Amino acid sequence: MESNEELNKEILNILDKYAECYLNKNLDGLMSLFVSDPDLVAIGTGADEWVKGPNQLKAGFKRDFSQADNIRLFFENLTISAAGKVSWVSGATTMQAMIHGEEIIVPGRVSLVLVENEKVWLIKHLHYSVPSENQEEGASWPE
């Protein structure tokens, strides 16, 4: 079920804040966008980037910030759906960052689940992925 225009604006605003907080390395701002539940899950692109709960999430953001400068995040081609107090979002991402003085650009994908809590939407689940470089377009399996 697709969401309505009002919810779409709220979700896009949350993603804009997320990107702004990443750029400014605003840890408290980022954390304010997530539920404080212990069953919060965030999955990154690294093999060890599977965190559960706010404490692990905070540690993950701190690690990101310590390893890169000028982290810019762009969300593109988003699909926003909702049912009741749950919304799910998927789309493409581009992350640009300075690592040891060198700019890297990482195209990726993102999916999020947000829940409405006392009229405020918060992220409960986040998953980033990077398409396999070993899998050709049109192929179902990497070679």
Per-residue tens of pLDDT for the chain, all 143 residues: 667 899 999 999 999 999 999 999 999 999 999 999 999 999 999 999 999 999 999 999 999 999 998 899 999 999 999 999 999 999 999 999 999 999 999 999 999 999 998 889 999 999 999 988 888 888 888 87
The 3 state secondary structure assigned to the chain is: CECCHHHHHHHHHHHHHHHHHHHCCCHHHHHCCECCCCCCEEECCCCCCEEEHHHHHHHHHHHHHHHCEEEEEEEEEEEEEEECCEEEEEEEEEEEEEECCEEEEEEEEEEEEEEEECCEEEEEEEEEECCCCCCCCCCCCCC
| Domain range summary for the chain, segments of one domain joined by + | 5-129
Q: Does domain 5-129 have CATH number 3.90.1300.10?
A: no
Count of other CB atoms within 10 angstroms of residue 71: 19
What is the value of pTM for the model shown? 0.92
